Amino acid sequence: MLWIKAFHVLFVMSWVAGLFYLPRILVNLAMVPADSVAERDRLLLMGRKLLRFSTLLAVPAIALGAWLWLGYGFSGAWMHAKLFLVLLLVGYHHGCSRLLRKFEQGRNTRSHRWFRVFNEASVFLVFGIIVLVVVKPF
């Protein structure tokens, strides 16, 4: 089970790294002038590749986490809270995908300031998950 835990941590770290950087690409996309087609296309390409990579890392992270949960039989309020935050993180990932798609379709209506705030949501979710796993406050 220690190998499963090690790979789970590795995949989670990699997935979250992508979720930390993808919204930053969205911030940059929101700041691109309308006449800068090459810059916009380059950022869209980077965003698509990072989203694909992050999604591929999320699948084993979640699968290995489920394996650990079922294997160890963790229970308690802290686990329910953690699973809720993980579900929100998956929703955040999906939200990033939708926002990137809007940029690709030329339908973004949000400012770079909004994306800067949105960028911080993943940090708070991951912080909450880490505290719940390490401290188990309840």
Q: Which candidate, 35, 46, 40, 29, places its Cα nearest to that of 108? A: 29
> Is pLDDT at 73 greater than 90 in this prediction?
no
| pLDDT tens string 14-58 | 999 999 999 999 999 999 999 999 999 999 999 999 999 999 999
Domain that holds residue 91: 2-135
Q: What confidence tier does 72 reach under pLDDT thresholds 50, 70, 90?
A: confident
Share of the chain above pLDDT 70, in %: 100
Tokens of 67: 């394996």
Q: Please state, as a whole number, how many other Cβ atoms lie within 10 Å of the Cβ of residue 138.
A: 9
Q: What is the pLDDT of residue 89?
A: 98
| Sequence-ordered list of residues with C-beta below 8 angstroms from that of 31, at least 6 positions apart, any chain | 112
Report the predicted TM-score, pTM, of the whole model to 2 decimal places. Answer: 0.95
Q: Domain tally for the chain? A: 1
